[in-house]
Structure 1
Amino acid sequence: MPTIWQLQGPSMRGIPFVLFPVAVLLGVAVAVADEPAPQPIKLAVFPFELEDFSAAAAYIPPDDIDREQLRLSTEEARRLIAASGRYQLVDVGAVNDEAAKAGKLHLCEGCDARIAAGLHADQSMVGIVTRISRTDYAVTYKIRDVKSGALVDVEQTDLRAGANSAWSRGARWLIQRRLLEQSN
């Protein structure tokens, strides 16, 4: 039986052609592994706000149930966003802005970006539940770049024949199916 030293003929000449691509792939794999992971985007997620266009809006103001459902929608969005690892939530609890306190950030033409910039965030997010009727709603989020104030993402979903208890499901669907399915 021949030893490895005796196999210098044609059968050994192809080895460099096989080993070279393997070495290149290993080099690329090591280079990719050495690259730092992208830093999460610092996102200021403001509480969801109600925009009521229903016929009853003039007669029935938002109540405790509406406020609770907005709170639950905000919590669900924040939970999913934080768990994704793509974002680092910025605390908005200490914000002392009249539009934010009144739940009117969706009407202030981008003041949320200015507020978020003061919190050292990269982006701001405002969630809006639009009541069209007592059974038809739209849930929307708007994300702005804090440096330019420009919208970087706007997504919406409609809820038909639902109740305000469905708002958090709409928020969950938007975050999971739109925000987190997008590429970085």
Structure 2
Amino acid sequence: MRYIASILASAMSLAAPLAAATAAPAAIKIAVFPFELEDFSAGAASIPPDEIDREQLRLATEEARRLIAQSGRYLLVDVGAVNEPTAKAGKLRDCDGCDAKIAAGLGADQSMIAIVSRITRTEYAVTYKIRDARSGALVDVKQTDLRMGANVAWSRGARWLIERRLLE
């Protein structure tokens, strides 16, 4: 009986490093900033973003965060307390990667910004940009080719992009 126990103990000690080597990689800590609107439509000069646009951006952000968190590949870092003026103004897309520095300050490994580009009042595209928080280098950039629907479809575009590009 002792002989069998010693054989099992030896086998288990040999299997432990193998199990550790095949374990899933640690989740990447990612700061997902609120979606931003970039309006290229003909009406942009005369029709500023309104409450409906802001609500649809919020819903698209929530959908993206939900899918990213559910994947298990990422761990969301809270960006709610960020006081950076560029972030508060919804202009991270224009700051040449400052989102990475903000994310690093929050303890994230990566940052993600997403832009809804309004082409017309019924056509849009959604783009995300992920940066390494330490170096600021772009890790991934993807855009939808979904150009259909008004602002109520932005979260659908975000879902398509996250599911079929980021998490695929």
Structure 2: tracts of 5 or more residues without a match: 1-12
Q: In structure 2, what is the equivalent of residue 5 of structure 1?
A: none
Cα displacement string for residues 99-136 of structure 1 (whole angstroms, at most 9, x for unaligned residues): 10000001100000000000010000001000011111
Matches within 5 A, 1:37-56: 37-56=24-43
1:34 deviation in Å?
Answer: 3.0
Task: Assess if the C-alpha contact under 8 Å between 1:139 and 1:170 holds in 2.
Answer: yes
Amino acid corresponding to residue 34 of structure 2 in structure 1? P
Q: In structure 1, what is the equivalent of residue 19 of structure 2?
A: 33
Q: In structure 2, what is the equivalent of residue 142 of structure 1?
A: 129
Q: In structure 1, what is the equivalent of residue 47 of structure 2?
A: 60
Amino acid corresponding to residue 20 of structure 2 in structure 1? D
Matches within 5 A, 1:101-140: 101-140=88-127
Amino acid corresponding to residue 76 of structure 1 in structure 2? E
Does 2:85 match 1:98? yes
Amino acid corresponding to residue 99 of structure 1 in structure 2? T
Cα displacement string for residues 65-94 of structure 1 (whole angstroms, at most 9, x for unaligned residues): 000000000000000000000000000000
1:33 deviation in Å?
Answer: 2.1
Normalization by structure 1: what TM-score?
A: 0.81
Normalization by structure 2: what TM-score?
A: 0.88
Q: In structure 1, what is the equivalent of residue 161 of structure 2?
A: 174
1:166 deviation in Å?
Answer: 0.6
Q: In structure 1, what is the equivalent of residue 9 of structure 2?
A: none
Amino acid corresponding to residue 34 of structure 1 in structure 2? A
Amino acid corresponding to residue 100 of structure 2 in structure 1? A
Q: In structure 2, what is the equivalent of residue 17 of structure 1?
A: none
Q: Secondary structure at the match of 1:137?
A: strand
Task: Assess if the C-alpha contact under 8 Å between 1:90 and 1:121 holds in 2.
Answer: yes
Provide the rounded CA distance (Å) in 2 between the counterparts of 1:169 and 1:28: 48
Q: In structure 2, what is the equivalent of residue 74 of structure 1?
A: 61
Higher radius of gyration, 1 or 2 = 1
1:140 deviation in Å?
Answer: 0.5
Provide the rounded CA distance (Å) in 2 between the counterparts of 1:51 and 1:114: 22
Q: In structure 2, what is the equivalent of residue 7 of structure 1?
A: none
Task: Assess if the C-alpha contact under 8 Å between 1:143 and 1:154 holds in 2.
Answer: yes
Task: Assess if the C-alpha contact under 8 Å between 1:44 and 1:123 holds in 2.
Answer: yes
Q: Secondary structure at the match of 1:58?
A: coil
Paired residue total: 156
Provide the rounded CA distance (Å) in 1 between the counterparts of 2:77 and 2:132: 14
